[in-house]
């Protein structure tokens, strides 16, 4: 069993949990993920490792409440335990021969961008970070990102904080100002990563994105997490989750992402109705 040692509500739909998992913490690196189950009847869901502490033996996850399992997980409290917490899985991020990097996090993707920026900053790399949200109330990890960035830029769609617009508007501004970047790391909604990749491709800036498709076993056997990269089929769980943003077929990925939307909604409704029935019994 894996005890929840800390829980923090970051905004109305996003939670942070620090999990006691010493063997996972010992090997975890930025870019990797875990697969968890809340209980013996729960489904397996993948979540990217947001942070880890090898001394304390803990791993931090940050998740958005979007389906049945994340709803159940959000209702758990400090002192409760998860049944399964498997990892680290996936290929760790590699940062070779880079001196100046832009790390971009869109919405919840900021939680995944944070360990990337933290690692780069610890290596002495100059890090400009851009984080984007719909509005100021949804901003997460602002202080944490500021500590691991040489410069932090915030973009909100409604202009309630920072730059009004999208992360790509800020990135374009930085490029126009003459900044020369060795690498751009973009993590967030598929459409955001697609637009960032289209922008950087015009300037020949190497771009890495993190893909998080539907996943079941996390070992490459089920094929559910397949993505097309450079015209070839790759599996996000064993070949990724990091891929060359200029080679990812984002349109296909977005179509696949929408495939189970109705089923996910029915699962949430069934879960809530079952609880309601129990309460009314």
CATH class of 2-89: mainly beta
Q: For residue 236, what pLDDT is reported? A: 86
Q: How far apart are CA 51 and CA 29, in angstroms?
A: 9
In this prediction, the residues of the chain whose per-residue pLDDT falls under 70 are: 259-281
- Terminal alpha carbon distance of the chain: 32
CATH 3.40.50.80 intervals, the chain: 100-257
Quickly list H helices, 103-260.
Answer: 109-122, 142-147, 167-176, 190-203, 236-239, 250-257
Give the start-end residues of each E strand in the chain. Answer: 2-11, 14-20, 33-37, 45-53, 58-64, 81-82, 84-89, 100-106, 126-133, 151-156, 163-164, 183-187, 207-210, 226-229, 232-235, 242-244
Which class is domain 100-257?
alpha beta
pLDDT value of position 43:
86
Location of each CATH 2.40.30.10 domain in the chain: 2-89
> In this predicted structure, what is the pLDDT of residue 256?
83
Q: What is the pLDDT of residue 266?
A: 61
pLDDT at 219: 75
């Amino acid at each position: 069993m894996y005890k929840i040692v800390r829980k923090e509500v970051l905004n109305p739909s996003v939670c942070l949990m620090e999990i006691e998992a010493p063997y996972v913490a010992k090997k975890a690196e930025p870019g990797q993920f875990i697969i968890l189950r809340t209980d013996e009847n729960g489904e397996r869901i993948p979540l990217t490792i947001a942070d880890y502490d090898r001394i304390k033996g803990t791993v931090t996850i940050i998740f958005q409440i979007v389906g049945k399992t994340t709803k159940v997980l959000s209702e758990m409290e400090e002192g409760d335990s998860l049944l399964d917490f498997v990892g680290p899985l996936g290929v760790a991020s590699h940062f070779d021969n880079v001196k100046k990097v832009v790390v971009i996090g869109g919405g919840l993707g900021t939680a995944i961008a944070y360990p990337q920026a933290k690692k780069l900053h610890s290596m002495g790399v100059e890090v400009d970070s851009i984080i984007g949200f719909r509005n100021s109330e949804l901003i997460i990890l602002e202080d944490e990102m500021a500590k691991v960035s040489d410069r932090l830029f915030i973009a909100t769609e409604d202009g309630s904080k920072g730059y009004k617009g999208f992360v790509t508007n800020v990135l374009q501004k930085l490029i126009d100002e003459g900044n020369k970047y060795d690498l751009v790391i973009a993590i967030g909604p598929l459409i955001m990563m697609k637009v960032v990749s289209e922008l950087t491709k015009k300037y020949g800036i190497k771009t890495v994105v993190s893909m998080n498709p539907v996943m079941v076993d996390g070992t490459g056997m089920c094929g559910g997490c397949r993505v097309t990269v450079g015209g070839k089929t790759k599996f996000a769980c064993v070949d990724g989750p990091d891929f060359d943003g200029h080679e990812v077929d984002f349109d296909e990925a977005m179509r696949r992402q929408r495939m189970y939307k109705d089923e996910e909604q029915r699962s949430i409704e069934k879960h809530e109705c079952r609880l309601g029935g129990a309460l009314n019994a």
